Chains A and B, each alone.
Chain A
Amino acid sequence: MKEDEAAELERRVALLSDPAHQGEDFDAASWFWLVLLGIALPAALIVWGVQL
């Protein structure tokens, strides 16, 4: 890796080590949609599909 690129990577890692510069994990609303669309909806479809 070139020196300037290594320095740039180091700068980024140093900044991202601080939680204030990190992105935000899923919040409560995100979890609601994940559970609804990833668990509840498939469960309902499976129950319906088995009965068809």
Chain B
Amino acid sequence: MTLSAGQAPETLPLAADLDADKQAWPLLRAERRWSAWQLYVALTASAAATWCYIIGEYAGLYLNFPRGFAALLAGGMIGMLLATLAVVPTSIRFGVDSIATTKPQFGSKGWILPALLQFLSIIGWNSILLIFFGKSVAQLFIALGILEESDTAPVVSGAALFACAVVFLILLGGARNIERITKVLVLHIFAGLWMLYLLVSTRWPELVDATPSAATPDRFYNFTTGIEIGLASLLSWWPYIGAMVRMTPTGRNAALPVMLGMGAPVPLLSLIGLAGVLVLQSSDPAEWLRTVGGPAYGIVALVFVGAANLGTTTAGIYASAIGLRHIPGLDRLSWPWLLVITIAPVALVGLLIPELFFASFGTFLAFIAVCFAPLCGIQIADYYLLRRGKIDVRGLFEDKPDSPYRYWGGFNIAALLAMGVGVAIYLSLLNPLTYEARWPYQFVTASLPSAFGAALVYWMLTRLLVIPTGRGAYRE
């Protein structure tokens, strides 16, 4: 997306019919009408989904219930703070999405790297959510006696495709529809808390005595891995957060809703998965609610799963579509076709490889942390330490030889090298495939050193290389 300058802004036509919320354009203050409460509801409905159960399940491999609670909430809130500081200030000031906020660091062409990460992340999360939904539908059909255990595959794929179609229809209305449906869908949080109460109140003695199946003798490793899982999970909000907070006009409106509405629900609802896997060896409430309360409870769980995942998937697909708008060619595509392009990969995963993808969740989670931790570190260092809040809004949408964020042919070497160092630090501390760790992972996690290392390298290279050559608009 680029500018064609030359005409005075006051002579240009107002664009009420251009549906600004379906573009990656910066939103004007008058268009950003969400109150703090509306943002809180939308963020909560977006954050609370069945990924919480899988996150809780992974933590439950290493930690018992009380320690899992402490580790997930601590890691989650730290991760949320990192993503918030990286994206929200620029998003709030200029009404832009997460991808636009990376242009001052990565360059007028280099933003394609974060855009690719955003696309892969959102596709991955939403595939997992819709497959989870499909599996829950299959579980219900089995419980009702209308499906055999061996015939679930077509039902899983069919339900995932059905959910894709529903998300498409909702998003035809843009951000306005997100705000409308989340007002209703947010009620599922209470159903989630009820399920947690049910499990904790009926199985408390077993829950207290339960032993995590993959816990190591190193208590610090176990606890830090719980923190790392929480961190990685909330860092994955980086792609979503910009498209949501840009709908409100002030940082004050956004700070509490982001931390409490987007940050807290994930670790809290993860306790459902944590408790489920510790006591019943299953994190899926659609499965264990039937064990606890019979088929009627299973139907309640399915409704919960459907409502929870619908809100999140809708917000995710919206954020991804807005991010794709930055790509030349896609900026002029009609909104329905852009939605088709965004949803199609999710539908294909749900149709072709649901089981394989679902089984690779741990690796996917590690991919999130490997990529987004250094990205957050770079953005925080740039905004707060190097630019001290000075962003050229024209540079966010301009790609000319004299553009502020042109750097070297559109790419900032400092950001790319810092990303590389951050990824290397992460991989040197934790193997994302096996969760095999090296000292001092058990005391510092892998994501935090990765973010800090990337920030430090970015700061040094910018001071030594970028600023002296007059690039990046640091001197203005």
Contact = CB atoms under 8 A, between A and B. Distances in A.
Contacts of B77: 37-38, 41-42
Interface in B138-180: none
Nearest to B70: A49
Given A5-B332, A15-B9, A16-B95, A30 B251 contact: yes
A9 B1 contact: yes
A34 B255 contact: yes
Interface residues of A, number: 41
B249 A24 contact: yes
B322 interface: no
14 contacts: A1-B2, A1-B331, A4-B15, A5-B23, A7-B4, A12-B26, A12-B27, A24-B92, A25-B92, A26-B88, A39-B78, A49-B71, A50-B219, A52-B67
Given A25-B92, A25-B93, 4 more contacts: A21-B29, A27-B252, A34-B255, A41-B74
A25 to B, nearest CB: 5
Contacts, number: 158
Contacts of B85: 34
A2 B85 CA distance: 35
A49 B293 CA distance: 32
Interface in B4-20: 4-9, 12-13, 15, 18
Interface in A1-33: 1-17, 21-27, 29-31, 33
Interface residues of B, number: 62
Interface stretch (B109-117, B122-130, B389-397): B389-397
Interface string B43-81: 000000000000000000000001100110111011011
B3 interface: yes
Nearest to A44: B74
Contacts of A46: 70-71, 74, 227
**Which 6 A/B pairs are nearest by Cβ-Cβ distance?**
A38-B81, A49-B70, A14-B9, A30-B255, A26-B251, A45-B74
Given A1-B1, A27-B252, A7 B13 contact: yes
B403 interface: no
Contact of B13 (A4, A24, A31): A4
B84 A38 contact: yes
